[in-house]
């Protein structure tokens, strides 16, 4: 295991922030984590990095970056209906989706083209087009820094919620996810009702729906809508869609007639954060190299040499203006370091 010093993380985060870390190493095997834990010469502060697509780096990191490169995909069991597949946490998420589709195993096709690694997927319970990854996770295996061993966390123990899980709370900084075991469906239940999937399938002249066709439709929609981090630095949605009470929503509707919402329960609704931000006039805003994407108000961008601090300040101003106008508190989805 090679430990490097004073490394720029610019190539390793999709915002493209040029921030340095004191120490850096790649983790290709869970056994290396025991060695890291036992090495007293290494800094105690550890930063776990996957694809760097959900982090905003605002300052130099004084500690060690553990870059997850644990690979391997294996079918571990099956029955008549399901197949259980374990993927190394460092596998690229989209590659895993393509692998599942190639084998005709259903459940992740709506999540095609989400950037990042398999290991980060459970952390914020990634979701898109009506599907969340929690629907197909059997268990998550993680190295526990205090127990000094790998521990399985079964689905019911992961406290999955909207862009949320136990890994953001009780287990934050306590574990390194090493693999995820999925339970995929041998007989697909297609989920095409959300977003523009059905429309896209029609446009593609698809007569018989398949998981491959759904993934193709999702890829086409995402490619046309979301800025590619290779072209403009960004981390996807910067904020979560806030959940508010139906009562607050009804009050807001009196002043803002076209405020959109999605039902969450009998008493709560979700309001699209992008709409709120757009109403505050931020869409397409640019100051130097820091900005709000011109087509997606939910996506903050680095046009080249923005700093993490400038993006943070912009996000702060957005939070304030949305609060002043709607009395709604936006919560950042992106992890800030």
Ligand X SMILES: Cc1cc2nc3c(=O)[nH]c(=O)nc-3n(C[C@H](O)[C@H](O)[C@H](O)COP(=O)(O)OP(=O)(O)OC[C@H]3O[C@@H](n4cnc5c(N)ncnc54)[C@H](O)[C@@H]3O)c2cc1C
Sites of contact with ligand X (CB under 6 A)? 14, 48-55, 68, 89, 114-117, 119-121, 123-124, 126-128, 176-177, 226, 229, 234-236, 335
Asked if 333 is an active-site residue, the reply is: yes
Asked if 237 is an active-site residue, the reply is: yes
What does the chain come to in residues?
337
- DSSP letter for 241, please: P
Least distance CB 250 / ligand X (angstroms): 29
Residues 295 and 260: their CA atoms lie apart, in Å, by: 18
- Find the helix or strand (DSSP H, E) in which 176 lies: strand 175-185
CB 58 within 8 A of CB 309: yes
Least distance CB 96 / ligand X (angstroms): 12
Asked if 286 is an active-site residue, the reply is: no
Residues 6+ apart with CB under 8 A from 149: 143
- Find the helix or strand (DSSP H, E) in which 178 lies: strand 175-185
| Between 82 and 125, CB nearer to ligand X | 125
Which among 237, 261, 315, 332 is annotated as catalytic? 237
Residues 6+ apart with CB under 8 A from 28: 69, 70, 71, 90
| Between 46 and 183, CB nearer to ligand X | 46
Least distance CB 12 / ligand X (angstroms): 8
| Between 130 and 281, CB nearer to ligand X | 130
Residues 125 and 135: their CA atoms lie apart, in Å, by: 9
Least distance CB 36 / ligand X (angstroms): 13
| Between 244 and 299, CB nearer to ligand X | 299
The catalytic residues are: 163, 237, 333
């Amino acid at each position: 295991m090679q430990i490097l010093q004073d490394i720029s993380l610019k190539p390793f985060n999709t915002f493209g922030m040029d921030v340095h870390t004191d120490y850096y190493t790649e983790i290709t095997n869970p056994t290396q984590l025991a060695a890291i834990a036992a090495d007293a010469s290494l800094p105690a502060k550890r930063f776990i990095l996957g694809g760097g697509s959900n982090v905003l780096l605002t300052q130099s990191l004084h500690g060690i970056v553990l870059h997850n490169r644990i690979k391997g995909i294996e079918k571990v069991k099956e029955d008549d209906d399901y197949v259980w597949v374990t993927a190394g946490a460092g596998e690229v998420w989209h590659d895993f989706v393509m692998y599942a589709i190639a084998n005709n195993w259903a459940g992740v096709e709506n999540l095609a083209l989400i950037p990042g690694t398999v290991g980060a997927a459970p952390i914020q319970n990634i979701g898109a087009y009506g599907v969340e990854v929690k629907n197909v996770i059997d268990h998550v295996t993680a190295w526990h820094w205090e127990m000094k061993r790998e521990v399985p966390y079964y689905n019911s123990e992961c406290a999955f919620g909207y862009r949320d899980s136990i890994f953001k709370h009780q287990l934050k900084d306590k574990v390194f996810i090493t693999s995820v075991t999925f339970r995929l469906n041998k007989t697909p239940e297609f989920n095409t009702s959300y977003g523009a999937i059905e429309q896209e399938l029609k446009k593609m002249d698809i007569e018989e729906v398949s998981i491959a066709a759904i993934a193709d439709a999702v890829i086409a929609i995402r490619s046309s809508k979301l800025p590619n981090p290779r072209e403009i630095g960004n981390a996807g949605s910067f904020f979560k869609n806030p959940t508010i009470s139906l009562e607050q929503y009804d009050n807001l509707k009196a002043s803002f007639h076209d405020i959109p919402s999605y039902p969450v329960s009998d008493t709560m609704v979700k309001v699209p954060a992008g709409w709120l931000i757009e109403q505050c006039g931020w869409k397409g805003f640019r100051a130097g190299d820091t900005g709000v994407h011109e087509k997606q108000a939910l996506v903050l961008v680095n046009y080249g040499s923005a700093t993490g601090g400038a993006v943070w300040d912009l996000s702060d101003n957005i939070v304030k203006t949305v609060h002043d106008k709607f009395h709604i508190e936006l919560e950042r989805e992106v992890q800030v370091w």
